[in-house]
Amino acid sequence: MEILSENRSHGGRQLVVKHASAATGTKMTFSIFLPPQAESGPCPVVWYLSGLTCSHANVTEKGEYRAACAEHGLIFVAPDTSPRGEEVPDGEGYDFGKGAGFYVDATQAPWSQHFHMWTYVTQELPALIAAEYPVDMGRQAITGHSMGGHGALTVALRHPDRFRSVSAFAPIVAPSQVPWGQKALGGYLGNDRAAWRKHDAVALIEDGARVPELLVDVGTADNFLEQELRPALLERACADAGIALTLNRREGYDHSYYFISTFMADHLAWHAERLRA
């Protein structure tokens, strides 16, 4: 692994790290914040999955999570959203290809050679983090934004015993039913809609996947709210399944990191309560 940068912050250390990924066949970059408590022993970890067009850098530079992580003793890990490099194919538009891996393992050419983000975020990166850093892997939480909120929900629903808590900011809750998701799932996974259901939070809940509770924040001024995010579909699925959903509709907030950073500390405090030993 290559440490690209290291900065002291809130008594802890903020690292940006590059490594060779077997899952994607490329170099991958992630950021990790180690709170001061990590110097004394293993700490719980919060995984953060980013949205369309983003990399690890967006939340690292604009997410305003370090003070809360230092307060609660949380390690915070933010991977990239897709493989990168000249050898990696790209799609048309911002919502497919580089920066838009949708946290799936692509089965369709040419994407299937490198776009294995599901394996990367659920297997390879956790194993690397567990081996290299003082993480208590028995205390894990996951969150994310937009496409990354979709990723956080689907990863948690398919690994309910791994995560003590899951939350999301403005998630794409039903990608099978919205343009962003239909483009991505069709392009990466082909036309078999049964394969899409494993990467659709609402469909997973309809098919029997369960977590005890969910925390979701959306902004009422989010331009993507009605066409792409559709939180009411998650609200209905959780009600039918008996999943305790806290859905905060934040008046006047949009889809940006101004929104995310405002409520990041609330989410981290919520996770910290559930991650206590």
Our CA angle for 102, 104, 110, nearest 5°, is: 95
Q: How many of the other CB atoms lie within 10 Å of CB of 222?
A: 21
Q: What is the dihedral of CA 228, 199, 96, 57, to 10 degrees?
A: 90
Which two tokens mark 103?
């946290």
In the numeric block, the tokens 């028995």 are attached to: 138
CB 180 within 8 A of CB 147: yes
CB 28 within 8 A of CB 47: no
Give the active site residues: 146, 222, 255
What is the DSSP pairing of strand 165-169 with strand 213-219?
Answer: parallel
